[in-house]
Amino acid sequence: MKPLTGLKVLELTAIGPVPFAGMQFRQFGAEVTRVLAPSSTDIDFLAESDADLLNRGKTILRANLKTPEGRARFEESLADADVLLEGFRPGVLERLGYVPDELLERFPTLVIGRLSGFGREGPLAPRAGHDINFLALSGVLAAIGPAERPMLPLNFVADFGGGAMHLLAAVLAMLVRRGITGTGGLADTSILAGTLGLTPMFHGLLADGHWTLEREANSIDGGLPYYAIYPTADERFVAVGALEQRFYRNLLELLELDDRFNAEDQYKRDTWPALREAIAARLRERTRDDWALAAEGIDCCLSPVLDFQEAMDCEHNRVNGWISDVPFARPDDLVSFSSDRR
């Protein structure tokens, strides 16, 4: 039995982070129902499709919240729900006639989780935005990529890592509070706020002089030659992350670099250009999989860069039970609970 078995979640139509949060609730055992308009729209084109993994296993409730019949269907489900998730722009839920404070008066045990893009105050509050925009305004985009220009990561750092995970944590916190007090409440955050919430460590490093605003000039942004991505003989790539001295020493032994380089000089910046060239040249001598095999059993933090399909075939991922093949290869059951074994 999953820890959230018996919990009922209503998820109002949204894209990206709210369905992702709903997916997490479902994977933790909750019964999740998506509330969709009667006709398909541009944001539910995969609804009821096996390919729509964010919404796999969710129940669908078709209801037009602008009609009395649709509102009645929604409110009937709401009366039995533990959680309501919504990701509209500020004011939309209220214009539909559902003011959070009034909902909590009618349904005092309900936990409402709200996720906007830019927050509910300020000049950007009513604006549309996507992952790239939230990354841009949080400082994250400027920190990612080569020195020449920022690099666009896949569309989930802000949406899923920032917005969805903060929404999920906040709603779970309110559910714990409800278990203590017996009453629900409101948890409200935004994708921009959640993305800012990913960055405290870097602000601390910056304030302490251990980070600069230049790209490829820091410890974990590609500035270090032993924390970087390198091409191999077959035009594939390996990722090297030998930050600690003991791992760096093992990396030097694996690569058999010449005696210009040793573990004691790891942090001497004047050696880094030559070291980067030497690592790059050596890794170019063999294929990605050859290097991965050579690094087996050695703590040198060298990994093959796998594509999505290769990650699904990875023996390690499969041994841990993280991959399901139904209806096709995909990540699943990524968290193990003691209650699963009962």
Residues serving a catalytic function are: 130, 159
Q: Distance of CA 298 to CAs 247, 251, 294, 301, Å?
A: 9, 8, 8, 8
Is-contact 241 227, C-beta < 8 A? yes
- In the chain the first and final C-alpha atoms are separated, in Å, by 7
Among candidate residues 147, 136, 138, 273, the one with its CA nearest the CA of residue 222: 147
Give, as one character, the DSSP assignment of residue 157. I
Is-contact 149 69, C-beta < 8 A? no
Is-contact 126 200, C-beta < 8 A? no
Is-contact 17 163, C-beta < 8 A? yes
Exposed, middle or buried, 255 (CB in 10 Å: 0-12/13-18/19+)? Answer: buried
Is-contact 238 294, C-beta < 8 A? no
Distance between CA atoms of residues 155 and 160, nearest Å = 8
